[in-house]
Every structure is written in structure tokens, then in C-alpha cells.
């Protein structure tokens, strides 16, 4: 399993490296803004860092779907399916590697944000914003809340990718050779995510916010696990490469 994950990482290592390089350049812009007290640079830095974080996390997910697509539909597929490994292991390695990558990228940008905020020394600004929101909109900013929101968004994104994986696998196996298999797979993906979204909305509010988010994340991962098992089963029974 670790060996499979190693090669999954190798397939996407290049774009991850590029993301890291771009982030470093942008970070330098931000730091120059801080230390030279240039508001323009500072502003551009903040904008671009936010963009790097969101686009990066989105891209890492999308790329994994693309890699799966290639691993099922080109000759490259032999590399995986000749190995004495089960479909569950092959797909599991992909999902785990990608999930861990997304989480680590999330943690990386979160830590970077904390550091940058500390370096920037915005205590005054922060307090002002805090009071403003508290008085006018009755919203209290709790760092934990932000963290929970962030990680539940990451969990939701990972689940979304796993459901897209399921659609890709369907189009390469059960729907293979049929007309409009791509479109049918896309519709299946939309239906899956819609059902999932509706299900998530129906989750009860628990008496503590922490528990509500924990439930949210747990349900996301449970859904991902179910999609994974269905996908693995289809690959095992129906996939020809």
C-alpha cells in the first residue's frame, strides 16, 4: 500500500512542487510588504496567498481525478493493474495519498497564515474587526470556529473528489464503449454530490458547535468511505483496462 502511495505521489509531485515554488515567491512579496511597509505589496501578497491556498487545494483534488482518468483509460493502466494488488488497494492508495495531500496542504497554508498574521502584527486591526463584527452583526470570531469551518470544507472537498472518482470509474467500466458515457458519468457525479449535499443539510445541530462540526466531518468521511467501497467493488468486478 505504501509503495502504491509512493507512486501516486510521484505522479503529482511536479505540480505540488510548482505550487510550493509559487507560494514561496508570493510569500516573499508579502514579507517585503510587511518589512518595507509597502501597503500595495502587502495587499497583493495577501490576495495572492489566499488565491494560492484555494486554487492549490482545488487543483490538487482535480489533478487526482485526472490522474485516475489516465490510469484507467490509457496503456499506463497496465502499470497498476499488472501488480498483484487488489482494486481496493490501488484505489485506496490513490484516495489516501490525495486526501493526505489535501489535508497537509490545508495545514500548511493554515500554519503559514498564522505565522504571517503574527509577523504582520495586526493585533490592532484584528481587535477592531473583532469588535465590529461582535457589535454590529453579533458574530463572534473564534479561531476554533475558523479552523473547524476550514477542515470541514477540506473534508467536503475530499468527499467530492471521491464521488468524482466513482463517476470516472463508472464511465471506464460499466459504461465503457457506450455512447455519451462521459456525460452519463458527469450526471451521476452531480446526482451523487446533490444527494450528499442534501444529506449534509439535514444533519442535526448538536448542542455544541465542536460536536456539530465533528459530526459534519465524520459524515463527510463516511460518505467518502462508502463511495470508495462501491468504486473498489465496481473496479474489481467490471473494470477492463
Partner 1 sequence: MVLESREATKTYGRKTAVDHVSLELEAGFVYAMLGPNGSGKTTWMKMAAGLVKPNSGGILYQNQPIGIESKKEIAYMSTEPYFYSWMTVADVGKYYEDFFDDFSMEKYHQLITSMELTEDMRAKKLSSGMMAKLKIAVTMARKAKIYLLDEPLNGIDLLARDEIMRTILASIEPDVTMVISSHLIDELERVADAVLFMKEGHLIRQCMVEELRISQHKSVADLYREIYGHGGEAVC
- Which grid coordinates are listed for 132? 465590529
Burial group, residue 168, by CB count within 10 angstroms (0-12, 13-18, 19+): buried
Q: Which CB sits closer to partner 1, 185 or 241?
A: 241
Residue number with CB closer to partner 1 (154 or 241) = 241
Three-state DSSP class for residue 138? coil
* Burial of residue 44 (number of CB atoms within 10 Å: 0-12, 13-18, 19+): middle
Nearer residue to partner 1 within complex by CB, 54 or 83: 83
**185-to-161, 175, 225, 233 alpha-carbon distances in Å:** 14, 8, 19, 17
Grid coordinates in use for 74?
490509457
Q: Give me 177's grid cell.
A: 464503449
Task: Name the minimum Å distance from CB 80 to partner 1.
Answer: 9
Using the minimum distance from each CB to partner 1, give the nearer residue, 6 or 131. Answer: 6
How far apart (Å, rounded) are the C-alpha atoms in residues 81 and 147?
39
Angle, in degrees to the nearest 10, between helices 87-120 and 39-73: 180
Q: Which is nearer to partner 1, 11 or 38 (CB)?
A: 11
Q: Which three cell numbers stand for residue 99?
A: 486526501
Q: Which is nearer to partner 1, 90 or 168 (CB)?
A: 90
* Residue 10, all three cell numbers: 510521484
* Minimum gap (Å) between residue 56 Cβ and partner 1: 21
- Shortest distance, position 227 Cβ to partner 1, whole Å: 21
Q: Shortest gap between Cβ of 68 and partner 1 (angstroms)?
A: 14
Summarize as ranges the residues that interact with partner 1 (CB under 8 A): 3, 6-7, 10-11, 75-79, 81-86, 177-178, 237-241
- CB-CB neighbours of 90 under 10 Å: 21
Q: How far apart are CA 74 and CA 188, in angstroms?
A: 22
**Nearest distance from C-beta of residue 83 to partner 1, angstroms:** 4
Contact 104, 9 (CB under 8 A): no
Q: Which is nearer to partner 1, 77 or 212 (CB)?
A: 77
Amino acid at each position: 500500500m505504501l509503495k502504491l502511495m509512493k507512486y501516486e505521489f510521484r505522479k503529482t509531485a511536479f505540480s505540488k512542487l510548482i505550487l510550493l515554488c509559487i507560494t514561496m515567491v508570493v510569500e516573499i512579496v508579502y514579507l517585503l510588504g510587511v518589512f518595507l511597509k509597502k501597503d500595495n505589496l502587502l495587499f497583493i501578497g495577501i490576495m495572492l496567498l489566499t488565491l494560492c491556498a484555494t486554487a492549490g487545494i482545488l487543483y490538487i483534488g482535480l489533478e487526482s481525478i485526472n490522474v485516475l482518468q489516465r490510469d484507467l483509460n490509457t496503456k499506463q493502466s497496465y502499470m497498476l493493474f499488472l501488480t498483484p494488488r487488489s482494486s481496493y488497494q490501488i484505489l485506496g492508495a490513490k484516495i489516501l495519498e490525495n486526501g493526505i495531500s489535501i489535508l497537509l496542504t490545508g495545514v500548511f497554508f493554515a500554519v503559514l497564515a498564522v505565522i504571517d498574521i503574527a509577523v504582520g502584527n495586526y493585533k490592532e486591526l484584528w481587535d477592531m474587526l473583532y469588535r465590529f463584527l461582535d457589535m454590529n452583526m453579533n458574530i463572534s470570531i473564534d479561531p476554533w470556529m475558523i479552523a473547524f469551518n476550514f477542515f470541514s470544507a477540506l473534508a467536503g472537498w475530499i468527499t467530492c473528489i471521491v464521488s468524482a472518482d466513482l463517476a470516472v470509474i463508472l464511465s471506464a467500466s460499466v459504461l465503457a464503449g457506450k455512447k455519451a458515457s462521459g456525460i452519463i458519468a458527469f450526471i451521476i457525479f452531480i446526482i451523487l454530490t446533490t444527494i450528499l449535499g442534501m444529506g449534509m443539510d439535514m444533519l442535526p445541530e448538536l448542542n455544541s458547535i465542536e460536536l456539530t462540526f465533528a459530526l459534519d466531518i465524520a459524515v463527510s468521511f463516511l460518505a467518502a468511505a462508502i463511495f470508495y467501497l462501491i468504486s473498489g467493488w465496481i473496479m474489481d468486478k467490471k473494470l477492463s483496462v
